[in-house]
């Protein structure tokens, strides 16, 4: 019987009764019996005599002493070490033993292949030693590591290396010291035998920082892009925010077994290999750009997360939302701002909007949690970044930078709150953000309904806006929000109109601060076409009755590239909704002539940036389309999307074939102009395949066989998979033969198996569990195969016999005991059952009930299942 875990609430936060100002750690590494001695300088806060309560999980406690004297009057209970009658200050020494080899949770100290590795965010340090494992306890860490020198020549930890030496019996040791106080979640240790790529960076003030990238043997040539990305990140943060790096060395270690993308441990970032290793043969353009973004993200945490950290875990978006905003700006400044913005919004609409509408809905600053790992979410990260972006929109670049400067000046070296950040922004700019702060505490995706009226006699145009945030699983009553609405008005020829009222200019960012509000413009000589929420100025759903003609005009004439892309998405969405209605009414599917013409004109537009054209041609994800409906008819939606995709393909196939044939041949390079052309080329290939034009099988196979880069290789495989061309099996077999030795590259192969529209998909997925390159113990392999199938293969996962649901539940039963954090990520498609038809709801709910009855159900899964079934 599973005991219901207790929830923690933001309202119950209290400052710690004790602080640990310094901790000296001594690790004697061993596969099954690693011994850790932790010397803590403890200081009582206040005049109380409460016991010191330390957190610890899966530890063998060997000894406890205070000021050099062993004690035994302590209590170990419910994963806590409780010590009473402490002096106001003391040195507390705790000796523990852990078994890294059996630690499959990949939290605390564990083995990744032959290397030792740690992951301590959010609460992994308690799997190393008993400690005040909370982010508002900041200590100076000193770490000594001892291990066999032949097996583990590199012994790494936070800060600067201050000493080292050799011992008898082939052992050696290294001493590290991090001079900057930090919470335990930022601690890191890595020990192993690696290839090392070394470089350096000269900061603005002239400091010479050593850069070291540690990778598995044989992968050194695939690390150069990561190091270059790091140097670009350091330069960008100096230029954009005036922030320099502060240690003598910056280290990155790539490991295969890692639950997350990467971790910003002070001075020693531990990365999933996926976000480090790349060369043209093994990595796509998307991989290269992802590495650049994640390298940047973790580096930017040095200030927004490390130097200033969270007071408590409810404030997680303080560091993550802000740092996601920073890495988005970094990628936009280095590449295509429009394409980066489009990609960011795609994530919101396909992942965060469904989260807001599901059982795990929560604000970017949650009010309560059971398992903190469950709140490393698209809401905290991506919606959190949108909240920061809205502040930037409202303040402007100059005031926003002043707010950042004030934030660092006030809070460097502190553990603070989201309110502290907003106060810095408000105080530096003079802009009142009182109402805006509701974004931090309110869940749900607001909708903004816009109607308009044009008075031809007075030349006055009025936009009327109504905001509404629907009730969510966690909150029934909603507050008014401060919503920035970036607009443009176009005349009949598609030219932008000046925004004025009463002879004064009106700013293009409107402030919607009431439930219902009118915005009036004069000197408008004809009824305009409004471009609304340009740049996605707020994370909302827009309701405005655009005509086909208005949307096609915006696709061509909107001055903002994001708005042009969004118009193409709105045009598709409009006809998806209309045709799903036709299916339900048992009517035939249809599209107006203007629809196909709009996409023919798009392909033919030679003035359009190829990167933007490629994005505008890409069909919205099924997950984002589901968000258009209160109740999702899976069968109708699949029928409609298949019909519309085919109509677009048939409309543009000949033009796409011409573009494809004329595509210039380049030597592969990670240059944004080349990336744009490859993106357009592969979108064109997909539409050619879907239209099933003559000799398409040979065309696709030829691209695969002639490809000199992974982007074009996967472009061919993906096109063949989606169109179910005969060459798909040939290409998959060849790919497997070439890459079966490299799990990271095989992840791309596993994804294609999970995404297959074939009737045999689930059967093949099950068989692939036994593949020599697959391991359920590896989070990357699991996410690639199981995650792609359950989250992205709508047709097969939601099969009416419930087989997809049962399969996922079977996998979750296994992961519950081995890696509940990965299980918790994978369960998301099941817990969103309430948006589907009654038959599917019953089948999904049955699997959730089955999972809820597992003995020793992990807190990670318990919380999500409990909230879904509530």
Q: What residue ranges do the domains of the chain occupy?
A: 1-193, 746-870
Answer for the pair 378, 349: CB distance below 8 angstroms, yes or no: no
Sign of the Cα torsion 705, 709, 710, 711 reads negative
Output Rg (C-alpha) for the chain, integer angstroms. Answer: 28
Q: pTM of the entire structure?
A: 0.98
> Which 3 state secondary structure label does DSSP give 505?
strand
What's the maximum distance between 2 C-alpha atoms anywhere in the chain? 95
- The answer to whether residue 779 scores a pLDDT higher than 80 is yes
pLDDT in tens, 729-777: 999 999 999 999 999 999 999 999 999 999 999 999 999 999 999 999 9
| Digit-coded pLDDT (tens) for 271-299 | 999 999 999 999 999 999 999 999 999 99
Q: Positive or negative, the Cα torsion across 703, 706, 708, 710?
A: positive
CATH 3.40.50.1110 correct for 746-870: no
Q: The dihedral of CA 681, 684, 689, 695: what is its sign?
A: negative
Closest CA to 8 of 138, 139, 123: 123
Task: Give the distance, in angstroms, between the CA of residue 77 and the centroid of all CA atoms in the same chain.
Answer: 36
pLDDT in tens, 53-99: 999 999 999 999 999 999 998 999 999 999 999 999 999 999 999 99
SS3 category, 595 = helix
pLDDT at 258: 95
Q: Are 438 and 515 in contact (CB under 8 A)?
A: no
Catalytic residues: 298
Query: 1-193, what's its fold?
Result: Immunoglobulin-like (2.60.40)
Residue 1 pLDDT greater than 80, yes or no: no
DSSP line for 748-809: HHHHHHHH--STTHHHHHHHHTT-TT--TTSHHHHIIIIIHHHHH-HHHHT-TTSHHHHHHH
State the average pLDDT over residues 645-666: 97
What is the per-residue pLDDT across 513-528, written as a single tens digit (0 to 9) for each?
999 999 999 999 999 9
Structure tokens at 677: 């052309």
Task: Indicate the pLDDT class of residue 3, thresholds 50, 70 and 90.
Answer: confident
Work out the pLDDT band at 120, boundaries 50, 70, 90. very high
């Amino acid at each position: 019987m599973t005991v219901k875990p207790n929830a923690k609430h933001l309202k119950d936060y209290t400052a710690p009764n004790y602080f640990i100002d310094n901790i000296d750690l001594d690790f004697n590494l061993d596969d099954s019996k690693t011994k850790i001695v932790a010397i803590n300088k403890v200081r009582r806060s206040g005049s109380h005599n409460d016991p010191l309560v330390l957190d610890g999980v899966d530890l063998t406690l060997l000894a406890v002493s205070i000021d050099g004297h062993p004690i035994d009057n302590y209590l170990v209970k419910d994963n806590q070490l409780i010590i009473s009658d402490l002096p106001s200050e003391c040195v507390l020494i705790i000796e523990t033993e852990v078994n890294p080899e059996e630690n499959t949770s990949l939290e605390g100290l564990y083995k990744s292949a032959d290397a030792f590795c740690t992951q301590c965010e959010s609460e992994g340090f308690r799997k190393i030693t008993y400690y005040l494992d909370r982010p508002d306890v900041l200590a100076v860490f000193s770490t000594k590591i001892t291990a066999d020198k032949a097996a583990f020549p590199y012994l790494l930890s936070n800060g600067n290396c201050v000493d080292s030496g050799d011992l008898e019996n082939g052992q050696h040791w290294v001493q590290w010291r991090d001079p900057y106080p930090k919470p335990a979640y930022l601690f890191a240790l890595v020990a192993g035998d690696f290839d090392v790529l070394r470089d350096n960076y000269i900061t603005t003030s002239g400091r010479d920082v050593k850069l070291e990238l540690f990778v598995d043997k044989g992968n050194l040539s695939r690390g150069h892009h990561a190091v270059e990305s790091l140097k670009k990140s350091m330069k960008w943060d100096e230029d954009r925010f005036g922030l320099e790096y502060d240690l003598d060395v910056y280290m990155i270690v790539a490991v295969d077994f890692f639950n997350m993308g990467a971790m910003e441990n002070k001075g020693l970032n531990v990365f999933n290999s996926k976000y480090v290793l790349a060369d043209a043969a093994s990595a796509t353009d998307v991989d290269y750009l992802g590495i650049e973004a994640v390298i940047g993200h973790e580096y930017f945490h040095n200030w927004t997360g490390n130097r200033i950290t969270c007071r408590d875990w409810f404030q997680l978006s303080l560091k993550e939302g802000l740092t996601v905003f920073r890495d988005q700006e970094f990628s936009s400044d280095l590449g295509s701002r429009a394409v980066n913005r489009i990609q960011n919004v795609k994530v919101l609409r396909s992942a965060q909007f469904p989260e807001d509408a599901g059982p795990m809905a929560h604000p970017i600053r949650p009010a309560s949690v059971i398992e903190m790992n469950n709140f490393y979410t698209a809401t905290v990260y991506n919606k959190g970044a949108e909240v920061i972006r809205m502040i930037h929109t409202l303040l402007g670049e100059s005031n926003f930078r002043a707010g950042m400067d004030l934030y660092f000046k006030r809070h460097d070296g502190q553990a603070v709150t989201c309110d502290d950040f907003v106060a810095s922004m408000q105080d530096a700019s003079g802009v009142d953000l009182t109402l805006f702060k509701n974004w931090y505490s309110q869940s749900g995706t607001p909708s903004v309904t816009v109607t308009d009226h044009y008075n031809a006699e007075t030349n006055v145009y009025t936009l009327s806006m109504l905001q509404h945030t629907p009730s969510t699983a966690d909150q029934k009553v909603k507050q008014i929000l401060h919503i920035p609405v970036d607009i443009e008005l176009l005349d009949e020829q598609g030219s932008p109109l000046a925004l004025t009222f009463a002879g004064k200019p009106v700013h293009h960012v409107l402030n919607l601060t009431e439930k219902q509000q009118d915005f009036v413009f004069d000197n408008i000589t004809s009824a305009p076409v409004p471009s609304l929420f340009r740049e996605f100025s707020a994370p909302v759903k827009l309701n405005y009755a655009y005509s086909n003609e208005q949307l096609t005009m915006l696709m061509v004439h909107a001055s903002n590239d994001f708005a042009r892309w969004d118009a193409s998405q709105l045009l598709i969405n409009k006809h998806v909704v209309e045709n799903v209605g036709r299916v339900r009414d048992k009517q035939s599917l249809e599209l107006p002539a203007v629809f196909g013409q709009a996409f023919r004109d798009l392909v033919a537009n030679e003035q359009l940036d190829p990167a933007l054209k490629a994005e505008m041609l890409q069909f919205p994800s099924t997950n984002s389309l589901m968000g258009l409906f209160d109740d999702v008819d899976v069968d109708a939606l699949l029928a409609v999307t298949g019909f519309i995709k085919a109509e677009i393909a048939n409309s543009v196939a000949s033009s796409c074939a011409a573009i494809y044939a004329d595509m210039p041949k380049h030597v592969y390079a990670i240059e944004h102009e080349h990336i744009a052309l490859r993106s357009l080329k592969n979108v064109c290939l997909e539409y050619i395949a879907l239209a099933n034009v003559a000799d398409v099988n040979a065309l696709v196979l030829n691209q695969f066989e002639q490809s000199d880069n992974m982007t074009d290789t996967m472009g061919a495989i993906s096109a063949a998979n989606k169109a179910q061309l005969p060459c798909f099996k040939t290409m998959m077999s060849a790919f497997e033969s070439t890459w079966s030795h490299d799990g990271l590259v095989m992840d791309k192969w596993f994804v294609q198996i999970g995404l297959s529209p074939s009737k045999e998909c689930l059967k093949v997925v099950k068989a692939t569990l036994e593949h020599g390159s697959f391991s359920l113990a590896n989070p990357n392999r699991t996410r690639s195969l199981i995650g792609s199938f359950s989250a992205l293969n709508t047709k097969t996962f939601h099969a009416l016999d419930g087989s997809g649901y049962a399969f996922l539940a079977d996998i979750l039963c296994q992961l519950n005991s081995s890696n509940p954090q990965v299980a918790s990520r994978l369960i998301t498609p099941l817990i969103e059952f309430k948006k589907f038809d009654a038959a599917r709801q019953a089948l999904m709910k049955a699997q959730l009930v089955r999972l809820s009855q597992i003995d020793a159900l992990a807190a990670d899964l318990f919380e999500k299942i409990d909230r879904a079934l509530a």
